[in-house]
Amino acid sequence: MAGPRELQWLQVDLEMQPWPELLERRMFMVFGDEESLKLTYGATSYKPAVNFERNYLVAIHQGLCPTGGYRVNIHNVLLRDGEIRVVVSFKTPGPGEFVTLAMTTPRAFVLVPKIESRPDPRFTFYLPTGEKLAEEKPRYGQKTPERRV
């Protein structure tokens, strides 16, 4: 059995605001197409563009935080036995650390290359300690058929 293989991944900073429900709690999502991203975020547009033919978009939300100083850190993305493992940690401000006195909603987005897999791979999220946090399958939107006039 082959060991885990690190995948090339790219952190992206998407310019869009999520639905308020997405701000309240920690969430892990994987998008397989643009339609699912727009349905989830209520976005009609976003920047930069994502090439969903070649990539999955992984979104990790830390949830609503009382101040600044919180952050989502993605350490690596590994492929093992058809499973894509995302190793992530969540930073909280230390005692006495200067922070913004406003509620924040830390999140991270990364592009992960699509792999040849039938069915779609399972994405599993872990802390660096090995503790499993969540498991997700890629989401796909339901495109409405084009109208013929």
Q: Please report, in tens digits, the pLDDT of each residue of the chain (149 residues total).
A: 456 777 777 778 776 666 666 677 899 999 999 999 888 887 766 777 889 999 999 999 999 999 999 999 999 999 988 899 999 999 999 999 999 999 888 989 999 999 887 788 999 999 999 999 999 999 998 754 443 33
Residue 6: phi and psi, rounded to 5, are -75, 130
Inter-residue contact 99 to 67 (CB < 8 Å):
yes
With tokens 């909280």, the residue in question is 92
With tokens 């990364």, the residue in question is 110
Domains of the chain, residue spans: 5-136
For residue 126, list its beta bridge partners.
87, 132
User: CA of 141: how far to CAs of 44, 113, 148, in Å?
Assistant: 14, 19, 21
How far apart CA 149 and CA 147 sit, in angstroms, is 6
C-alpha angle with apex 124: 81 to 37, nearest 5 degrees?
115
Neighbours of 94 (CB within 10 A): 8
